[in-house]
Amino acid sequence: MLSQQSIRKNFLIQLFISSVSLISIFSSMLYLFIENSILDEKSLELRHYAKNIVEDKSLYKQGELATGNARSLKIEVVNIDNTNIKISSYETTVNKHNYLTLIYPFDAKQGIYLKVSKQITQTKELLHKILKYIFIINIAGFILVLVYAIALSKMLVRPLKLLNAKLSNMNEHLIKPIDTKALPREFEPLGATINHLIARIQNFVKYQKELFIGTAHELKTPLAVIKLKNQVTLLKERSSQEYIEALKTTNKTIDDMNIIVSNILNIGRQEGAQLDKPVEIDVIQILKQKADDFKLLASHEGKELHISFEPQGFMAMLQVGLLNQIIQNFLQNALKFTPKEKSVTLRSKQDNIGLLIEVIDEGCGIDDSIDLFAPFKRQGNKQGVGLGLFLAKSAADALGAKIELKNREDGVGGTVASLQLNSKLSCIIPQNN
């Protein structure tokens, strides 16, 4: 998990440390390469001169060496007993002067070697200047890297600040989608996710307002009926039977109000179910259980329930209560609007998105101009408060699924209610052959 420490600060520190390390390593390698190249060239020059002396034996007379052509060099002849000495060079410092000395075999059998020395003080001073310049360039590079890191971090954080500023100025009345085209390409997925969340918030606010208004309206009507009925009853004395009928009417109206209150409580329970921990279930098994429950109800009402499930199994991580609520609402509405001796079909099939669940009835169909997923929207003259599809839509949104209601297009009257589960949160159970 990310700590509470600033991401920008971490980025600056890591970029600066890595850049300093890279520049330091590169500069050290560069200086070592320059130093070795120059010293190797000087050593090669000494070796070349020593080789010329060895090949021209006339320069050596009676144990002395003619040095007329080597005024910048110091050449000595030394006797070394060890005949296994190879060509080698080394550096020495005498009186603050640097010398490069080469030991080269002149007559190895007799133990005679050339000792050729050349002063390289100026070369060393040149190397020190190069080192100093590299050090100055490194400091300038460190400063440039720091400035670049600060500028780059500001550039990377700027889209987040713009998103934050835009979202902080929004409220439920002014909330608008973010223009993802104005964002850098790397931030487009974040902008799309925020827009999806904004759309859900807008729908939530819209439906909550409709719910409150609808609840007030639905409760106000039966209360007015109860009051009016009681006022009429109190206008004059009536028989016991008339009072009983008035109380029955009042009780029936109260029962209708209880249904409204129960449905509103179901909305609260559903919001709690959205916070339940998802579990891994076989969706096909859930559908089979629901089919068994509603087959008896359909038979009791003189209707028939057909089932067709494909594939044999489909595992998904979701809240079971929300899925049950959606399927149950689909089946209840289908049986409610399907006439006797007609049938309802519950089926599932795999598509390129995931699992498609459909409930198909032979009822009167729907009016496409009405938003049946809004609270207290009713179709036909059947009893109901009009919150079932609203609850189903909320449950589908919580599952990350898509819900749809449309008329049949196969020439038969009726409605198709569908639930599309995304395959990203699920997988198919292998079939047993």
Burial class of residue 282, CB neighbours in 10 A (0-12, 13-18, 19+) = middle
Position 358 scores a pLDDT of 92
146-161 per-position pLDDT tens digit: 888 888 878 877 777 7
Confidence class of residue 433 from pLDDT cuts 50, 70 and 90?
very low
DSSP 102: E
Q: For the chain, what is the mean pLDDT?
A: 77
Mean pLDDT of 94-106: 83
Position 139 scores a pLDDT of 87
- Residues of the chain within CATH 1.10.287.130 domain(s) are 190-273
Mean pLDDT of 173-196: 73
**Lowest-pLDDT choice from 44-48, 234-238, 258-262:** 258-262
Q: Please say whether the beta carbons of 97 and 119 come within 8 A.
A: yes
Which amino acid belongs to residue 386? G
Position 243 scores a pLDDT of 79
Residue 114 in this model has a pLDDT that exceeds 70: yes
Percent of the chain with pLDDT over 70: 78
Position 62 scores a pLDDT of 45
Position 429 scores a pLDDT of 43
Position 82 scores a pLDDT of 64
Domain spanning 279-428: CATH superfamily: Histidine kinase-like ATPase, C-terminal domain (3.30.565.10)
Position 68 scores a pLDDT of 42
Position 69 scores a pLDDT of 43
Could you tell me the CA-to-CA distances from 51 to 46, 47, 381 in Å, in that order?
9, 6, 117
Residue 191 in this model has a pLDDT that exceeds 70: yes
409/276 Cα distance (integer angstroms): 38
**What CATH number was assigned to the domain covering residues 190-273?**
1.10.287.130
- Residues of the chain within CATH 3.30.565.10 domain(s) are 279-428
Confidence class of residue 356 from pLDDT cuts 50, 70 and 90?
very high
106/54 Cα distance (integer angstroms): 6
First to last CA, the chain: 44
